[in-house]
Amino acid sequence: MKRILTYGTFDLLHFGHIEILRRAKELGDYLIVALSTDEFNATKGKKAYHNYETRKKMLEAIRYVDLVIPEENWEQKINDVKEYKADVVVMGSDWADSDRFDYLKEYCNLIFLPRTEGISTSKIKEDLKLQNPVNGVDQIPNPDSEN
């Protein structure tokens, strides 16, 4: 069985996410998604719209995804590859020109998949902001908030 491992925040799930998961799954038999936790996102200066548990449930509902695990730090990738016996780590092509993940090549294949053209979470957020400006602040309610 060929195991594929990929990483991401997967917030505001969209067609680009589905496409990268589909293409990753085509590379093997079993797709593991390491999902960035809210705490890890905070260390990266990112804030997801949906909390970790909601994003995890959304990913688990996608037929291409076999297992969702937490991504809690940058350094866990080698341990993930070993623990889950990953044959391939898939990253977005925006990392292709970086040597940041070259160390993984000693443990598995490293494949960079291109992003789906014309769509991204950042673009969706920007488009929504342009459609719903109120003093420059998005006024779309967050379903995961306590309010």
| Residues marked as catalytic | 44, 46
Residues 20/9, Cβ–Cβ less than 8 Å: no
Residues 124/12, Cβ–Cβ less than 8 Å: yes
DSSP letter for 19, please: H
Residues 80/5, Cβ–Cβ less than 8 Å: yes
Positive or negative, the Cα torsion across 3, 35, 117, 14?
positive
Secondary structure (DSSP) of 82-119: HHTT-SEEEEEGGGTT--TTGGGGGTSEEEEEPPPTT-
CA 109 to chain centre: 19
